[in-house]
Amino acid sequence: MFVEVDEKEALTELIDTFYRAAGESGWQGQINDSVAKIFMQMLLEAQRGLKDYSWSLILPGHEATVNWLIYQIDNFTIEKMGRMNQEASCLEFAIEKWGDRLRLASKHNIVLDDDDDI
């Protein structure tokens, strides 16, 4: 699927901010639809633990793509994510659970099933 450069940059910035809000040094990787699928799982994981999380993902009737995720982010700004650092443990948990899969998705454009070992 063709993805605009601006959308890739926006998703890269969002993932980087997510990592920084969790106390990590940031994120660098290649954006593709596999990354969008995994990052959506990370957002859902973090959403479960955040008390003041006024924004929620509207789940697609299909797998998440970069284009779909960027469209959803219209209601969720990077500024809001930066303010979530008081709940950083939820973000840290999401990174711990999904970070290896995100790296694999970025490097190889694959998404492993939940039962696949990394």
Instruction: For residue 15, tell me if it sits in a domain.
Output: yes
Q: Angle 24-114-88 (CA atoms, 0-180°, nearest 5)?
A: 25
Cα distance between residue 42 and residue 52, in whole Å: 17
pLDDT bin (cut points 50, 70, 90) of residue 88 is: confident
Instruction: For residue 29, tell me if it sits in a domain.
Output: yes
pLDDT digits (tens, 9 = 90+) for 20-72: 888 899 999 999 999 998 998 898 888 777 655 555 555 656 677 777 776 66
Instruction: For residue 114, tell me if it sits in a domain.
Output: no
Average pLDDT over residues 79-104: 79
Cα distance between residue 104 and residue 108, in whole Å: 6
Instruction: For residue 75, tell me if it sits in a domain.
Output: yes
pLDDT given for residue 77 in this prediction: 57
Name the pTM for this structure.
0.71
Cα distance between residue 15 and residue 81, in whole Å: 10
- The one-character DSSP state at 87 is G
Cα distance between residue 21 and residue 93, in whole Å: 12
Instruction: For residue 118, tell me if it sits in a domain.
Output: no
Instruction: For residue 45, tell me if it sits in a domain.
Output: yes
Pure H helices in 30-87: 33-49, 66-72, 78-82
Residue 107 · residue 30 · CB < 8 Å:
yes
Residue 79 has pLDDT above 60, yes or no: no
Parent domain of 11? 5-108
Residue with the two structure tokens 């995100």: 102
pLDDT bin (cut points 50, 70, 90) of residue 5 is: low
Instruction: For residue 116, tell me if it sits in a domain.
Output: no
Number of domains in the chain: 1
